[in-house]
Amino acid sequence: MVSTESKEYAEVSACQRIAENNRIITDFQTDGLLEKILQPTNLNNAYKKVKSNKGAGGVDGMSVDELLSFLRDNQEQLIQQLKGREI
């Protein structure tokens, strides 16, 4: 290994150790993240992005064209399940 490669590997390891040792900072940054993800504006933008990309159907076999009506009918239940609170 040449010295440049060795230096690159050393920097990668150092970054990895920094991330592992700063768990408190990572947890702080993710507080409230699920609530932000589940905001109506964010969910609407996600749907629009999938629709505009002509996204593929999911593992459940539902087509993108079926998605909007499903989301409208099941929005609250889906959000509660994602939050871990079954209705």
Q: Tell me what the pLDDT averaged over the chain comes to.
A: 74
42 with 35: CB under 8 angstroms?
A: no
Q: Which residues of the chain have pLDDT under 70?
A: 1-31, 85-87
Q: Is the pTM of this model over 0.85?
A: no
Residue tagged 């109506």 (tokens): 40
3-class secondary-structure state, position 41: helix
pLDDT at position 1: 53
Residue 43: Cβ within 10 Å count: 15
